[in-house]
Amino acid sequence: MPKIKPPVSTPRIDMTPMVDLFALLLTFFMLTTSFRPQEASMIDSPVSISQKQAPDFNLMTIYVNKDGKLFFNIDNGRDSTTKYREQILKKMADRYEMTFTDEEYDLFGRLASFGMPIKDLKKWIHGENSQERDLLQIGMPMDSADNQLGYWVLYSRIVNPRAEVAIKGDADANYMVVKEVMDLLQDNKVNKFNLITNMQPEEVGLDDLPPER
């Protein structure tokens, strides 16, 4: 009697449902994604219980890193044709008697946060890659002799008066630096600040009340 041979077949799994699932996930991520903006410096925000979200558009952000260096960012607004960044740079160029080409304006409009004296800005705009750019991020000057951050804020306020102001400070940054930034903003008639924090829920209920004395 011949042996019964088991049918030889390679084990195959039907991949179709998996592909379906992946396609779905991919579509979801592609549609919901808003690319994480490249940040000029590593900043570790402090925690708070606040649940309010930062606005997506019309947001001017000032970064304060651990060493007290300052970086600046503003977006182009909801409607990308407004090109706020280009307008601000034009005003800055007039102020510091510099000239930028149309291509440079365009490139600057698409970049994110920056922090360097304006004389290095051209080099930053033309930076080949992010490493080269990061080397130029040495912090925005804010001393009384050359208050460049002040002018960036001032022109941003003129170009986009609706922009809200957020401060993203490192947990270990000295408060005095943050205070200087706030003073500068108050001089520009900004009295409402959004301090960017990481959410960490904390439950405090009636049970936590200390016993009545």
State the minimum distance, in angstroms, from the CB of residue 49 to another protein. Answer: 6
Work out how close the CB of 6 gets to another protein at its nearest, in angstroms, rounded to a whole number.
15
Q: Any idea which residue has 């280009």 for tokens?
A: 86
Could you tell me the smallest distance in angstroms from the CB atom of residue 95 to another protein?
24
Residue partners of 11: CB distance under 8 A and separation at least 6 = none
For another protein, the closer CB: 36 or 99: 36
145: Cβ–Cβ under 8 A, 6 or more apart, which residues?
none
Q: Note whether 61 and 168 are within 8 A (CB).
A: yes
* Least distance between another protein and beta carbon 172 (Å): 6
Could you tell me the smallest distance in angstroms from the CB atom of residue 205 to another protein?
A: 6
- In this complex, which beta carbon is closest to another protein, that of residue 146 or of residue 172? 172
Coil/strand/helix, residue 59: strand
Nearer to another protein by Cβ, of 118 and 178: the residue is 178
Residue 85 phi/psi, 5-degree rounding, is -60, -40
Q: Is residue 164 classed as helix, strand or coil in its secondary structure?
A: strand
Closer residue to another protein (CB): 22 or 96: 22
Q: How many C-beta atoms surround the C-beta of residue 135 within 10 A?
A: 13
Pairing state of beta strands 47-48 and 59-64? unpaired
Name which of 52 and 97 has its Cβ closer to another protein: 52
The tokens for 90 are 């034009």
Residues 187 and 166: their CA atoms lie apart, in Å, by 16
- Closest to another protein by CB, 46 or 117: 46
Least Cβ distance, residue 159 to another protein (angstroms): 22
Binding site for another protein (CB under 8 A): 12, 15-16, 18-19, 22-23, 25-26, 29-30, 32-37, 45-54, 56, 64, 166, 168-176, 178-179, 182-183, 186-187, 191-199, 202, 204-206, 208-210, 212-213
